[in-house]
Amino acid sequence: MGLEMFSLQGKIAVVTGGGRGLGRAIAEGFAEAGADVVLVARTQAQLDAAARHIEGLGRRAHPVAADVTKRRDVEHVVAEAVQRFGQIDILANVAGMNIEGPSAEQTEEDWDAVLAVNLKGCYLGCQTVGRHMIERGGGRIINMSSIGGLIGIARNSAYTAAKAGIIMLSRSLAVEWARYRINVNALCPGYFITDINRDYFASESGQAFIKRFIPLRRTGQIEEIKGAAIFLASPASNFMTGSALVIDGGQTAW
């Protein structure tokens, strides 16, 4: 089949968290592989900028402002995608957030917020888009977990609990929905440079962390998430479901 097995030509992808960071990179990767993209985030200005970039690649983009923790918003996203493009072939649940701090001091509100965006938002996206994919007879779902779903990270108990939950949600749905030809996988990135962590990793302590914990002795560049996401969305991964694909520079291999 050659490289065409990685083609997303003619596919429609929904990407939550698509306004910035890894979500935007994944949305751009899908577009570069041939897909049209529905971009979802809470900030309209970020969505509009991402949509303009994708349209500059020659693909269609439709930005939809929504809160993934609200069922009504998620249902609106699906309705918009189907109305605009007629179908959804790929869902990438990338929206996420974190509130870092000592676990003994974490508030109930902080716990609820982190679990709501990362885990509940992922579940609502899977469930709502999954119903559409069941009716259509197939699809691809990629859920953004983290190496934090595989290893313990101090001061991040809510985040790691949510990311571990995403892996098990993905595996459970993979087993349940295999008969509908829906492939469900989790993507587990390590540390990638984004606007949130750029200053830290440029600092002396950040550089020391990299040298101590990441065998490749560097962080991931945001463009490097695209290949893994395209693989999971494309026919190249037809026989892959229920997996947690790690892309972390070897950090979890220690």
* DSSP three-state, residue 124: helix
Asked if the structure places residue 254 within a domain, the reply is no
Burial level of 179, CB count in 10 A (0-12/13-18/19+)?
A: exposed
pLDDT value for 234: 98
pLDDT tens track, the chain, 254 positions: 578 999 999 999 999 999 999 999 999 999 999 999 999 999 999 999 999 999 999 999 999 999 999 999 999 999 999 999 999 999 999 999 999 999 999 999 999 999 999 999 999 999 999 999 999 999 999 999 999 999 999 999 999 999 999 999 999 999 999 999 999 999 999 999 988 899 999 999 999 999 999 999 999 999 999 999 999 999 999 999 999 999 999 999 98
pLDDT value for 195: 84
Domain that holds residue 175: 2-243
Asked if the structure places residue 179 within a domain, the reply is yes
pLDDT value for 1: 59
Asked if the structure places residue 151 within a domain, the reply is yes
Residues 233 and 11: beta-carbon distance below 8 Å: yes
For the chain, what is the domain count? 1
In whole angstroms, what is the distance from residue 87 CA to residue 57 CA?
Answer: 21
Instruction: Please report how the helices 108-115 and 157-177 are oriented relative to each other, as an axis angle in degrees rounded to 10.
Output: 30
Asked if the structure places residue 253 within a domain, the reply is no
In whole angstroms, what is the distance from residue 95 CA to residue 171 CA?
Answer: 19
Asked if the structure places residue 248 within a domain, the reply is no
pLDDT value for 166: 98
Asked if the structure places residue 251 within a domain, the reply is no
Residues known to be catalytic: 159
Asked if the structure places residue 199 within a domain, the reply is yes
CATH number at residue 236: 3.40.50.720
Asked if the structure places residue 249 within a domain, the reply is no
